[in-house]
Structure 1
């Protein structure tokens, strides 16, 4: 610190020369703690409107990618370019994707397209149906596909092998030009976390909810903090933990396709206890589910648990992703609530008979170091 102090300070007495650097160091340390840990909660407590902040801009996330996390399947030395081949004026190859599944799956398909564009410098568009499915995100930047071409004009490319062989390297080969100067349609729900995780902060910006949804979320979280005040007025407000419980059709889907059983009471108790211990019971859990009757039946007896009013899937995702940390079960929707929130994400380490993208094996391979497994049994 002494080397960057003004020269005039070097002529002060020894006592002042010692005290001033010490003061600066303490101030910087205190500021760092305030900014990274306490500022969001303090703003919540002392805002003139007494409203919590809603995630509407990208916050710097200090995640360290695992060294063994996979990168692109095709190295630049193997890419093939076609400078004289165009499609509607755009260089080939061109890629788009079918918007298959619900909100969480479509977000994964969009993110995969984003990654292919920025890794392989490929021409990428989204179909109008995909943009319509993601209308809650006005900041999406990938352009809509020009013209009204039939799907039959596109060369389909998707997963290699059956469901239990999760391998989408073909879409990367198409983006790299190895399949020729064609227009490609990604199918079979491409959801390549190992590709788009390198663009996490960009995607958090892309998936910014519209102002109407943010306003509703802000009002709801304000109610939660009013009902769950801090046990000590001199401490920060409770830490907010989003809790998504996936049920309905996914109970059967997970069992048939992956041999997995959705977690229930034991997992819920362990996940809640994890955060209560971490934050000395100064925590409030915000629960959303596609089966709120089930969620209330299993969790309503906890005094620190609060339930979403269930406006829409987009509103619930905005609510959960605006919390500090997350608890998820299975499925793409729950994954995105934790991924967008950016804090710690507790997930169930379920037993599987077949490969599953939202599993411990996948999360660790991809390098999601903020995802914490907890046994559901």
Structure 2
């Protein structure tokens, strides 16, 4: 009987140990944001921890710039073009607000450099050799207290209240490469048949993966055609010679729903455009209609005209509508 109890106790102990080992080894890493502080010795190591991709190549030699005297501000990488524009803009704006030195991980900057010219925020390549003290880092502007502290913003960071304080400056910061500007302008001229009096309204229709996200996050269905047609009517009643340029991740759905309108042009109807070209097209329009998603938001911000947006409660777009006077929903 005693031996049986010992066996039961031993078996229970082994099972408990296995459970603890499983949790620590297999589950905890799923929630880890950064590697252990002890493994981050210089900013080159720190930069790698900020990137969700692993294609950053280490250099054998670095041009040794002066190391930061005070704290820095940076961000983690997350999402695609629209998200990474917010991450970059948030670092840019927080640095302006705090006086900290801004640095962008190369995994973000490499992507943005393919789209924009002369971005001003440097990468960690300039200070890769400098020692990093992770104990000085906080994760938000609200937690920042003094100039020797550094800030690392989370991935998918959206800071409209700070960024849009300098909205015209950030528009200049995101200046498209000349080839994208020329291509987008040529498309608009072709669509307008060289009518210089045309008013272009960029329409962003986000569907595919966002449909399930809307239901999961907000328990709501995607915008239906009544929203887009209502917004189109608003601009048609206000202006003459209006042409709607539709950009979407689901052009087939847009062709089915909007191709009967004579003043509608759907990009990627015949050939799939790159996201960078579609964004350049949206930014070249006079006004905007957007539903949701950071891609359409940036298209409207860079266009700089009047914007009608789909009202999603507690969505960041609503906050933009409160900040920018020419952004509004349909009554």
2 CA distance for matches of 1:344 and 1:214? Answer: 21
RMSD of aligned residue pairs (Cα, Å): 2.3
Instruction: Give the equivalent residue in structure 1 for 2:148.
Output: 181
Matched, 1:357 2:316: yes
Which structure has more helix as a fraction of its residues? 2
Cα offset for 1:349? Answer: 1.9
2:128 is aligned with 1:171: no
Q: How does 1:37-76 map to 2 (within 5 A)?
A: none
Please give the alpha-carbon distance, in whole angstroms, between the structure 2 residues aligned to 1:203 and 1:262. 30
Specify the alignment match of 1:267 in structure 2: 227
Determine helix, strand or coil for the equivalent of 1:91: coil
Per-residue CA deviation, residues 32-90 of structure 1 (Å, 9 max, x unaligned), is xxxxxxxxxxxxxxxxxxxxxxxxxxxxxxxxxxxxxxxxxxxxxxxxxxxxxxx9621
Compute the TM-score of the two structures, normalised by the length of structure 1. 0.65
The equivalences for 1:140-179 within 5 A come to 140-145=119-124, 146-147=127-128, 153=134, 157-158=138-139, 170-174=140-144, 176-177=145-146
The separation in 2 between residues aligned to 1:148 and 1:246, in whole angstroms, is 42
Unmatched segments (≥5 aa) in structure 1: 1-86, 159-169, 230-235
Q: What does residue 202 of structure 1 align with?
A: 169
Selected match of 2:263 from 304, 319, 344: 304
Provide the rounded CA distance (Å) in 2 between the counterparts of 1:156 and 1:190: 16
The Cα shift of 1:153 comes to 4.6
1:289 corresponds to 2:248 = yes
Instruction: Look up the match of 2:85.
Output: 107
Alpha-carbon displacement from aligned partner over 1:76-129 (angstroms, at most 9, x marks no partner): xxxxxxxxxxx9621222111112111111111111111111111111111101
Q: Which whole-Å CA distance do the structure 2 matches of 1:124 and 1:256 have between them?
A: 35
CA offsets 1:320-360 (integer angstroms, 9 cap, x no match): 1101001101011111111110000011123x4xx32122x
Matched residue SS, 2:299: helix
* Count of aligned pairs between the two proteins: 261
Aligned equivalents of 1:155 and 1:255: distance in 2?
A: 39
In the superposition, relative to structure 1, how do residues 213 and 154 fare at CA in structure 2: closer, same or farther (>3 Å)?
farther
Structure 1 CA distance for aligned equivalents of residues 259 and 132 of structure 2: 48
TM-score normalised over the length of structure 2: 0.73
Matches within 5 A, 1:320-335: 320-335=282-297
Where in structure 2 are there 5+ consecutive unaligned residues?
A: 1-64
Question: Helix, strand or coil for the counterpart of 1:90?
Answer: coil
